[in-house]
Amino acid sequence: MPQIYSQKDVNKKALAKARIAILGYGSQGRAHALNLKDSGYDVVVGVRKSGESFAKAKKDGLEVAEPTEAVKNADLIAFLTPDLTQKDLYKDVIGNIKQGATILFAHGFNIHFKQIKPRKDLNVVLIAPKGPGGLVRRQYQQGRGVPSLLAVYQDVNKQAKAIALAYADGIGGTRGGVLTTTFAEETETDLFGEQAVLCGGATELVVKGFETLVEAGYQPEVAYYECLHELKLIVDLLHEGGLTKMHQFISETAKYGDLTRGPRVVNKSTKKEMKKILTEIQDGKFARQWIAENKGGRKKYNKMMKADFNHKIEKVGAKLRERMPWLQEEKA
Active site residues: 107
> Binding site annotation covers 52?
no
> Binding site annotation covers 230?
yes
CA distance 71 to 226: 50
> Binding site annotation covers 269?
no
Do the bridges between strand 148-154 and strand 123-129 make them parallel or antiparallel, or are there none, so unpaired? antiparallel
> Binding site annotation covers 39?
no
- Amino acid at the residue 196: A
Contact 184, 108 (CB under 8 A): yes
> Binding site annotation covers 63?
no
> Binding site annotation covers 90?
no
> Binding site annotation covers 251?
yes
> Binding site annotation covers 190?
yes
> Binding site annotation covers 50?
no
How far is C-alpha 54 from the chain's CA centre? 22
b/e map 93-129, b = 16+ CB within 10 Å: bbebbeeebbbbbbbbbbbbbebbebeeebbbbbbbb
> Binding site annotation covers 53?
yes
> Binding site annotation covers 194?
yes
> Binding site annotation covers 314?
no
Q: Which residues are annotated as a binding site for substrate?
A: 251
Q: Which residues are annotated as a binding site for NADP(+)?
A: 25-28, 48, 53, 133
Q: Which residues are annotated as a binding site?
A: 25-28, 48, 53, 133, 190, 194, 226, 230, 251
